[in-house]
Structure 1
Amino acid sequence: MQLKHRREGDEQPYWPAGPFKIRLPFVHYRWESAEMIQALIMFVVSLSAIPLLDQYLGVPYDVALAYVVICGIGFMLPALLGVPLVPGWITPAVPVVLVFLGDFAPGPEAIQALFALQFLVFLIFFVMGITGLGRRLVHLVPNSLQAGIIIGAGIAAITGEIQPGGRLAETPISLVLGMLLSVFMLFSVAFRGWVARHVLFRKIANYGMVPGMIAAILIAWALNEYPRPTVEFGITQPNFGELWNYLPFTVGFPGIEVFLLAIPTAIIAYVIAFGDILVGRSLMSRADHLRRDEKIDYSTDRIHHVTGLRNLIHAFFAPYPGLAGPIWTAVTATMAERYKHGRRAMDSIFSGAGTFWITGFFALFMLPLVSLFQPVLPIALSLTLLLTGYICLMVGIEQTQTTAERGVAGTMAVVLAVYGAGWGLAAGVVLYYLVEKQNLLGREAREAIPEEAIDEEAAQSESSAVSADTGAAQPR
């Protein structure tokens, strides 16, 4: 229950605050039990940053846990301030960030470097949001380039897990079975048929990728792919007192040369985050189309403001290898899937997003849960990366309308995944002008020569495939 209720077809109630729209649980939206239960499992993904903080920054466990708590505060801000997405890291950028940090010694040097990087990411989001360039960029970038960014991020996320030496090679059975179960429950047309016919499957479907996560963990323990936990009781003890010794206020702020070294990585991170914004836009557009009872305000400027604010907080108080990204793709897709089943399933998109990370924040202090999942933190991170990659591929391919767009997007995506976002974006722009434009200053070739006339049969086949997939959890 909540104090303020939405009229049919309106926005969810809020308190206006400049560019933000403040919403509180039990006041502006109801508490969602399904998202609460998901968060009690999925919060372990945020804990998986602890080994990265130890390895690359030289931060001890109890201080790294304090970093994660600050990250949890940032995770609650988007729903509080009017963004309808479940936030996360800039996940596909993590490998690029770690390569950047690898050039600095763990300790003060690496902390300064990460501060420089995250502060630059804040500046990019702030400028793009305050000027409205981010909003215009979403509408000005051609379909093929949007799709190339999304698909490239997906390829990078999956490749990092399945390449030799990756986590899939180390724990193949648990990860493969967990991934297959998650994909089946989230996107299978057959499973949706079961959900429509059976109450039991309908209840299971409410929990998204949680059943896949639990299955992967149980299999890993059963096959000794990961050690069994030693459960402890009590409240976790993040070491906020010692935290100050691992912040730029104490270790020192970086010089201008470090900022210059961080610029390429910051641009790459924003390009990938821009792709995440496009994914979120597609997911919310599909949800808004299906649910006429609520108007979803998906403001690109507000997303930039909130994401920039989170990166600013991180830079000064918890420099973070995952950075602060606009969307946790796998969980947002799960939430959007449940949302489209109607108001009884989820009253508002904000009730789902808000409930999830408020629960996840308090779960960080539950020592039995933290100690239970601590040995299997890599599983949570791997499943998230693999599902993020799958969803990015699904949404990116759907973004294209013609074979020319698909060719440009696919080539750009491969270059982005292999050589980085900068080269990928350059390749996409060049190919767009060479392939899709009739001439450098003219209209797009597909406007002058309709592709349907060239390849009508292929277009009809694509249309049939899309129609057959309307039951799947795919944003339009």
Structure 2
Amino acid sequence: MALGLSFEQAVACCFIASILITSGPIIFGEPLAPGWVTPALPLVIAFFISKGYFDGVYREEAFHYMAAMCIEFTIIILFLGLTGLGRVIVEKIPNALKSGIILGAALAAFYQIFFSDFERYIGETPVAMLTILIICTITTFSEPYKRIAEHNKILKIIGSLGLLPGFLIAAFVGYLVGEINFDIQSGFLLPPMNEVFELTSPLSIGMPPVDYYLEVFPLVIIGYLLLFGDFVTGIEIINDAQKNRPDEQINIDINRAHNSVGIRNLIGACVNPFFPTQGTLWTGIHVIIVERWKQGSGVMKSLFDGIGSYYLMGIPLLFFVLPFITLMKPLMILALGVTLVLTGLACSYVAISLVKKNSEIAISIITALFVAFGEFNGVAAPWIGLLIGLFLSLVLVDNSIKEN
């Protein structure tokens, strides 16, 4: 809605994105629970803010940029996946540069929540937002909580439910203090797909100008690097659990995964460009499903049973249920806020774990600052961070020398 679409049109956008995401395991046979390229989200938002397009006013230019991102993302993914160059490129990228990119996404997320858009995310619903942030941060990242939950069945169940407990409690608290008001309506909603196509599709509003592709190219490259990290994470989670399920051997094909994401992005670019919603992994859901699959065939006969039931019977069908949609409407800002904060924390964890040397740590911080806050002619320019990080990595880091 920040790009000028109505609430109903935004629901239609999410419905289209969810249908495409669902096709990953159900049509392409991917053994990963797919989701957004979430770490790229704060950088994409920062780009549109810097252009002045994140103010709730509809502009064709905003969706021309979206289309350019999706088209370039599709071309890069399919090319690197089919040629096998993707793995080679990512393996050759210096760890300091990888860390800086990921840490930059974290800084961009925190800056939007706590500084540039503080009033929007926290100022209007401070009690509800702080409630959901505290609960979800504890259940997701707290080591003491996880240790106690191992011996407490109730806490273990709460932790396994992901963000749901935080949402329920925050909604209740927000309602009690008067920050959140619900207008729950009965019936069914038919998402206005035709309106979304007419307002956002390049087949309707025209193809993006060439200079748009050049402007978003660094952002798309960052998106691919983050996507590849999700590939690795999802595969390692399955490999770790596979030893407990010798009865079902999971076929993991990195080229098929690239093709799945590439084709989904291509369809999305034609119908409703919405970068970065077509990724390969929803980490929290993937972990929950794999953990249950790991417990044996008596709990979950097949990994695809768990993934398929979650995506087919859960996400897409709920977009037609008006009571659910109207219940969630006032909670959307909470959802985006907690997504950005948890993404920032997760990215911080990963980024810091990638660097060991003092020189790499320094490069990571410098790169992150320019990725998150670099501007050129008043417009967000993460490519500045890429160039600085690559230059410093080549000049300052000697992999033949080990530092304490």
Pick one of 12, 23, 32 that aligns with 1:66.
Answer: 12
What residue number does 2:34 align with? 86
Give the CA deviation at 1:170: 3.4
Q: Structure 1: which amino acid aligns with 2:213?
A: A
Quick check: 1:273–1:325 contact (8 Å CA) kept in 2?
no
* CA shift in 2, pair 1:368/1:253, >3 Å: same
Matched with 1:210 is: 164
Task: Quote the Cα distance in structure 1 between the aligned partners of 2:259 and 2:322.
Answer: 34
The answer (yes or no) to whether the contact 1:86–1:327 under 8 Å persists in 2 is: yes
Does 2:259 match 1:311? no
Please list, as runs of the form range in 1=range in 2, the aligned pairs for 1:43-62 lying within 5 A after superposition: 51-53=1-3, 55=4, 59-62=5-8
Q: Which runs of 5+ in 1 are unaligned?
A: 1-50, 438-443, 456-476
> How many Å apart are 1:372 and its aligned residue?
0.8
Alignment partner for residue 385 of structure 2, among 421, 424, 434? Answer: 424
TM-score by length of 2: 0.84
Is 1:405–2:360 an aligned residue pair? yes
**For 1:156-215, what per-residue CA distance to the aligned partner results, in whole angstroms no more than 9, with x for missing partners?**
122211114331343332222211211211222222222221222222222022212222
In structure 1, distance between residues paired with 2:223 and 2:47: 12
Classify 1:432/1:298 alpha carbon distance in 2 versus 1 (closer, same or farther; 3 Å): farther
Partner of 2:143: 189
Kept after mapping to 2: 8 A contact 1:147/1:400: yes
The count of aligned residue pairs is 386
Q: Does 1:77 align with 2:33?
A: no
For 2:400 and 2:177, the matched residues in 1 are separated by 56
Give, in angstroms, the shift of residue 427 of structure 1: 1.7
**Counterpart-to-counterpart distance in 2, 1:96 and 1:298:** 34
Aligned AA for 1:362?
Answer: L
CA distance in 1: counterparts of 2:112 and 2:300, whole angstroms = 34
Kept in 2, the 8 Å contact 1:213–1:383? The answer is no
CA pair 355-428 structure 1, distance change in 2 beyond 3 A:
farther
8 Å CA contact 1:186, 1:334 repeated in 2 = no
Residue 134 of structure 1 contacts residue 301 of structure 1 at CA under 8 Å; is this kept in 2?
A: no
Counterpart of 2:179 (choices 225, 229, 250) is 225
Aligned to 2:127: 173
From the superposition, tell whether residues 287 and 110 of structure 1 become closer, same or farther in structure 2 (CA, over 3 Å).
Answer: closer
Change (3 A) 1:427 1:109: closer
CA distance in 2, matches of 1:156, 1:298: 33
Deviation at 1:361, TM superposition (A): 0.9
Look up the match of 1:98.
48
Tell me the distance in 2 between the aligned counterparts of 1:339 and 1:205.
17
Alpha-carbon distance in 2 for matches of 1:306, 1:270: 18
Q: CA deviation at 1:428?
A: 1.5
For 1:68-467, list aligned pairs within 5 A. Answer: 68-80=14-26, 81=28, 82-89=30-37, 90-99=40-49, 102=52, 106-166=58-118, 167-226=121-180, 228-248=181-201, 251-254=204-207, 258-282=209-233, 284-286=235-237, 288-289=239-240, 291-294=242-245, 299-320=253-274, 322-332=276-286, 350-358=304-312, 359-419=314-374, 420-437=381-398, 444-446=399-401, 450-451=402-403, 455=404
Task: Give the Å deviation of 1:394.
Answer: 0.8
For residues 149 and 292 of structure 1, the distance between their equivalents in structure 2, rounded to whole angstroms, comes to 33
Q: Which has the larger radius of gyration?
A: 1
The residue identity in structure 2 corresponding to 1:423 is I
Alpha-carbon deviation of 1:290?
A: 5.2
Q: Tell me the SS of whatever aligns to 2:386.
A: helix
The verdict on how the C-alpha distance between 1:264 and 1:164 changes in structure 2, with shifts beyond 3 A counting, is closer
Contact 1:148 1:396 in 2 (8 A): yes
1:390 deviates by 0.7
Displacement of 1:334 in angstroms is 5.5
Cα deviation for residue 380 of structure 1 reads 0.7
Which residue identity does 1:86 align to in structure 2?
Answer: P
Greater CA deviation, 236-245 or 309-318?
A: 236-245
Higher relative contact order (Cα pairs below 8 Å, separated by 6+ residues) = 2
Question: Which amino acid in structure 2 is aligned with residue 414 of structure 1?
Answer: L
Q: Judging changes above 3 Å, is the alpha-carbon distance between structure 1 residues 164 and 68 closer, same or farther for their aligned structure 2 residues?
A: closer
Deviation at 1:231, TM superposition (A): 1.2
In structure 2, do the counterparts of structure 1 residues 302 and 172 end up closer, same or farther at CA, with 3 Å as the change threshold?
A: farther
How many Å separate the matches in 1 of 2:68 and 2:274?
A: 11
| Runs (5+) with no aligned partner, structure 2 | 375-380
On the 8 A contact 2:102/2:226 being kept in 1, the answer is yes
Amino acid at match of 1:185: T
TM-score by length of 1: 0.72
Q: Which moved further from structure 2: 384-393 or 344-353?
A: 344-353
